[in-house]
Amino acid sequence: MYDLIIIGGGPAGLTAGIYAVRYGLDTVILEKNVLPGQIAATDLVENYTGFTAISGPELMQRFKEHAEIAGVKIESADVYSVRSDSGKKVVMTDSGDLEAKTVIIATGANPKKLGIPGENELMGRGVSYCATCDAPFYKGKVVMVVGGGESALTDALILSNIVKKVYIVHRRDKLRASRILQQRVSKKDNIEIIWDTVPEKIEGKTGVENVILRNLKTEKVYSMPADGVFVYIGIHPNTDFINVKKNSSGFIVTNEKLETSLEGIYAAGDCRDTSIWQVVTAVADGAVAAVSAHEYMMDLEFAR
């Protein structure tokens, strides 16, 4: 039986592993991908403290190497479920069941995609899901934001302070974002909303050049030049396998110690209900979750 099983080998999981082994916990990280984490799909990272610029894959590789040097055990496994059984935690995987005294869920989340031609091909080369990460690359350029919710308008405002022009492409004739965000957007001269419209194709050779749009009311199809496309049609947390308290979108609800509704099970990073999804906050979550798991282990020892 392990002291701690960490499910997910992204920034939160690897950081949790580093802290856990430093506390002397017998720990294993379970991860199904070779290079996990949303950050691994980011072309360039410029907002992680200590690095003026580093590619997403390289940053993830450095996280992984640090964890391995620290003595963190990482195994390839796909987790099907987690349950509590007589005080222990049972983690069911494609390689069999594993047992632990504590578990940290660090499985992250994935942005929902448009599913149109050109999106995957130009990801990281004009197609982005994070203005906080990538806005500086588009200084003085023209970009599109797809979506009409809180994230779409928030990031459109971020972009508007950097780029020349922001087009918000929304499939409806009303925005879903809060009134205050809508008011802020309406006051921006360089933000324009394209109503009742969806993108059908993203075109470009080495980067985004044009977007094919279709008006849902008139069925008119036309091309519009753009240097970047930012997609905000939702984010899906990888939490279906665990039965704990979640919010309406499936993100795990935790307290300040990152405890879930199940004793001895913690959540860290993008899979939990949080105000911001960034690599720096995921790393912080990993540290907090590991410290909390260690405190829980100490309480178990003293209770004997």
CA distance 11 to 13: 6
- Spot the catalytic one: 3, 26, 97, 134: 134
Helix and strand totals (H; E) in the chain: 6, 17
Q: Is 133 a catalytic residue?
A: yes
CA distance 212 to 223: 4
Going by their DSSP bridges, the two strands 142-146 and 88-93 should be labelled as unpaired
Tokens of 92: 């069911």
- Spot the catalytic one: 130, 270, 271, 285: 130
DSSP codes of every residue in 214-262:
EETTT--EEEEE-SEEEE-S-EEES-TTB-S-B-TTSPBP--TT-B-SS
Tracing tokens 């997609």 back to the chain, one arrives at: 231
- Spot the catalytic one: 3, 78, 133, 299: 133
Q: Is 134 a catalytic residue?
A: yes
Which amino acid belongs to residue 302?
F
Four-CA torsion 68, 78, 27, 19, nearest 10 degrees: 60
Contacts of 303 (CB under 8 A, 6+ apart): none
Residues catalogued as catalytic: 130, 133-134
